[in-house]
Amino acid sequence: MASPVTPQFTGARRRLIDELRGKGISDMAVLRALDLVPRHQFVPTGVRHRAYEDAPLPIGNGQTISQPWVHATYLQTLHLSGSEQVLEIGTGSGYQTALLAQLCRHVYSVERIRPLLETARDAITACGIANVSLLCGDGTVGWPEYAPYDAILVSAGSPDVPQPLLDQLAAGGRLMVPVGGRDDQRLMEITRSGDEFQSREVSDVRFVPLVGKHGWDTA
């Protein structure tokens, strides 16, 4: 990935990667993606000096970029091979979108807040990433046009599993979605085989609310 400012923060990025290894992230492809994508280009300038802390940060419009460990856990759990078509709900900063772009064939990502989507688009383009399609809208209804997806990642907390996302999973496909209350949730991994769905709990997480037809009514 070509980026004129990639050399900046290289030391800080390596230290973050060491910290994530210490917290159980061992998948080499995931660690490589974390090394390639400059997280500081996906956060507002006011918090850029904190870009390589393993912490969530404000990105404006009341939303946050997730903690790197959370992104790494999603990606390590999915263990993508590079050939997948992936749907992401909640583009936010676009950082996870950029990580996914390193690990699969094409990423479709939906964000409901347009200014965030446009900032994310700029950051993704500045990184020279081309295998991403972005849509402004309610991601709780998925993105039916390009379904089915081998993996679907939801980056906001939902009261329930949105049915359209289950419907848009390919055979053998996996959905990762935080389900629970407005303040804390359990990250679920749901695997489709035929019309059967198997679900398991990955970890406890805290996400901003998923707002939409199949999510919460208000932010």
User: Known catalytic residues?
Assistant: 66
Residues 24, 22: Cα–Cα separation, whole Å: 6
What are the structure tokens assigned to 126, written together?
């500045």
95 binds ligand SAH (CB under 6 A): yes
Give whichever of 112 and 192 is closer to ligand SAH, judged by the CB atom. 112
Least Å distance, CB 205 to ligand SAH, is 11
93 binds ligand SAH (CB under 6 A): yes
Report the largest interatomic distance among the alpha carbons of the chain, rounded to a whole angstrom. 48
DSSP string, the chain: ---TTTTTTHHHHHHHHHHHHHTT---HHHHHHHHHS-GGGGS-GGGGGGTTSSS-EEEETTEEEPPHHHHHHHHHHH---S--EEEEE--TTSHHHHHHHHHSSEEEEEES-HHHHHHHHHHHHHTT--SEEEEES-GGG--GGG--EEEEEE-SBBSS--HHHHHTEEEEEEEEEEEE-SS-EEEEEEEEETTEEEEEEEEEE---B-BSTTSBS--
63 binds ligand SAH (CB under 6 A): yes
25 binds ligand SAH (CB under 6 A): no
How crowded is residue 69: how many other Cβ atoms within 10 Å of its Cβ?
A: 17
Pairing of strands 85-89, 106-111: parallel
Least Å distance, CB 42 to ligand SAH, is 7
Binding ligand SAH (rule: CB under 6 A), the pick from 92, 142, 173, 178 is 92
Give whichever of 70 and 169 is closer to ligand SAH, judged by the CB atom. 70
How crowded is residue 184: how many other Cβ atoms within 10 Å of its Cβ?
A: 12
Sketch the per residue contact string, 110 through 149, with ligand SAH: x for CB under 6 A, - otherwise: xxxx--x---------------------xxx---------
Give whichever of 86 and 116 is closer to ligand SAH, judged by the CB atom. 116
Least Å distance, CB 194 to ligand SAH, is 28
Least Å distance, CB 214 to ligand SAH, is 8
Residue nearest to ligand SAH (CB): 92
Least Å distance, CB 131 to ligand SAH, is 17
Give whichever of 30 and 210 is closer to ligand SAH, judged by the CB atom. 210
**Site for ligand SAH, rule CB under 6 A:** 63-66, 89-90, 92-93, 95-96, 110-113, 116, 138-140, 155-156, 208, 210-212, 215
